Amino acid sequence: MTVRYRDGIEVTLSTGERVVCDADEPDGDVNVVSHAHGDHLYERAPGAVVWSPLTRELAAVRRDELPATATDDRLTLVDAGHVPGARAVVIEDPDGTTYCYTGDLSTRDHRYLGGFEPPEAEVDTLVIESTYGEPEYVFPPPAEAAAAFREWVRETDTPVLVFAYSLGRAQEVQLILGETDRQVYVTEAVAALNDPIVDAFDLAFDVARYGGDVTLDSGDALVLPSQTNRLSFVETLVEETGAQKAALSGWAVDSSFRFAGGYDATFPLSDHCDFEELLAVVDAVDPERVYTCHGSTDSLAREVRSRLGYEARALKRNQTSLGEF
Ligand SMILES: [Zn+2]
């Protein structure tokens, strides 16, 4: 009957069994993977995992080892909205306590992805992500950010390099670029993730594979995983083709994001709840107590307490004696 942050988020049931969520080396009696982003996906595979079928397929792209899919009557997966395949988990302890661990979360509908909706079950303990858990992180409507990006692409008369997380953000970027007259290229890493998403949502991406044989010209757009921005081939590409660089991320609400990444333009399109949406989730779930994890945990816990009046605390990694509030 405790919640801890050790390797992943760990819920110990009244039976003594441990439910371990999003660990690097999952070792629970039950293991959960909320979605296939690298910081939530195992490094060492356990025997079996509770996850969505699509997350399993995406994990197969990213990891050599692939666990079997487990089910457990006490666990229910609900859409988390965040990226394709992402699920929150509701855990019903036999003693009557109900937990909800959100993983990463978005309540907004994004094209083919519906947003998170609070579970119907009454939740006693909510464990909520805090990526944008500070009051200044408030995003414009996604359609507005997408329109500004589309407009920038249309007005730019050079090749464009577009940086986005390869799972989730990159697929939405491809759909937006499909509404311009650019020829869109993707790298192998993005293309491999596209395949299961295309099948799961009946989508079509009108894109070509980028390789050494392609020379970018002013009618082209290349979608790149965000972490490649610091690699030397990007600098070379910019020098050789005069390409402009854009990035799409929630961090773009802070102007230092553009400066730090050396981008020509940035757009605040995110796969996460912004600050106000995180508070709205807490309010809608209406739990007895709130734990915050992953990101601005102290800030979000403080704001949940002061603005909403819930008991809330930040989960600290390897803190041994949490006790009750
Ligand atoms: Zn994520």
The answer, yes or no, to whether residue 323 has pLDDT greater than 90, is no
SS3 (DSSP) at 61: helix
Please say if the pLDDT value at position 110 is more than 90. Answer: no
The CATH classification number of 142-267 equals 3.40.50.10710
Q: What is the pLDDT of residue 243?
A: 98
Q: How far apart are CA 191 and CA 184, in angstroms?
A: 12
Q: What is the DSSP letter of 182?
A: P
CA distance 271 to 81: 8
The pLDDT of residue 87 is: 98
Query: Distance from the CA of 36 to the center of ligand 1, in angstroms?
Result: 7
Whole-angstrom distance, CA of residue 155 vs CA of residue 174: 18
Say which residue the tokens 């859409």 belong to.
Answer: 79
DSSP 3-state assignment of 18? strand
pLDDT at 212 (0 to 100): 85
Residue 320 is predicted with a pLDDT of: 60
Quote the pTM value.
Answer: 0.95
Q: Which CATH number describes the domain made up of 2-136+272-314? A: 3.60.15.10
Low-confidence winner among 54-58, 111-115, 189-193 (lowest mean pLDDT): 111-115
- 55 within 8 A of 81, measured Cβ to Cβ: no
* Predicted confidence (pLDDT) at residue 44 exceeds the cutoff of 80: yes
Whether residue 1 is predicted with pLDDT greater than 90 in this model: the reply is no
pLDDT at position 319 is: 79
Q: Would you say 110 and 116 are in contact if contact means Cβ atoms under 8 Å apart? A: no
Nearest by Cα to 134 from 316, 298, 312, 313:
298
Residue 293 in 3-state DSSP?
strand
Model confidence at 322, in pLDDT bands (50, 70, 90)?
low
CA distance to 14, 42, 91, 121, 166, per residue, from 76 (Å): 18, 20, 7, 10, 27
Across the range 65-70, mean pLDDT stands at 97
User: Which residue, among 255, 200, 189, has the nearest Cα to 222 in the 3D structure?
Assistant: 189
Let me know if the fold of 2-136+272-314 is the same as that of 142-267.
no
CA of 73 to the centre of ligand 1 (A): 25
Rounded distance between C-alpha atoms, residue 279 and residue 75, angstroms: 24
Q: What is the pLDDT of residues 263-279, one digit of tens each?
A: 999 999 999 999 999 99
Q: What are the domain boundaries of the chain?
A: 2-136+272-314, 142-267
Decide if pLDDT at 302 tops 80.
yes
pLDDT tens digits, one per residue of 178-237: 999 999 999 999 999 999 999 999 999 999 999 989 999 999 999 999 999 989 999 999
Measured CA distances, 2 to 22, 181, 247, 301 (Å): 17, 54, 40, 18
**Ligand 1 centre from 244 Cα, in Å?**
27
pLDDT at 140: 96
User: 140 in helix, strand or coil?
Assistant: coil
Task: At 175, give phi and psi (nearest 5°).
Answer: -65, -40
Confidence of residue 165 (pLDDT cuts 50, 70, 90): very high
Q: What's the gap in Å between 301 CA and the centre of ligand 1?
A: 20
Ligand 1 mean position, distance from CA 37 (Å): 5
Tokens matching residue 33:
């993977």
The Cα–Cα gap between 282 and 310 comes to: 9
Phi and psi, residue 20, nearest 5°: -115, 125
- For the cut 90, the answer to whether the pLDDT of residue 318 exceeds it is no
DSSP state, 225? E
Q: Are the C-beta atoms of residues 296 and 134 closer than 8 Å to each other? A: yes
Give burial (CB, 10 Å; 0-12/13-18/19+) of 183.
middle
What is the SS3 assignment for 241?
helix
- For 313, other C-beta atoms within 10 Å of its C-beta total 19
Give the Å distance between the CA of 33 and the centre of ligand 1. 11
- Average pLDDT, integer, range 45-73: 97
d(CA 22, CA 114) in angstroms, rounded, equals 22
Q: How far is the CA of 171 from the centre of ligand 1 (A)?
A: 14
Residues 208 and 133 sit within 8 Å (Cβ to Cβ): no
Q: For residue 278, how far is its CA from the centre of ligand 1 (angstroms)?
A: 15
Partner residues linked to 18 by β-bridges: 12
Angle at alpha carbon of residue 77, lines to 75 and 78, rounded to 5°: 140
What single letter denotes the amino acid at residue 215? Answer: T
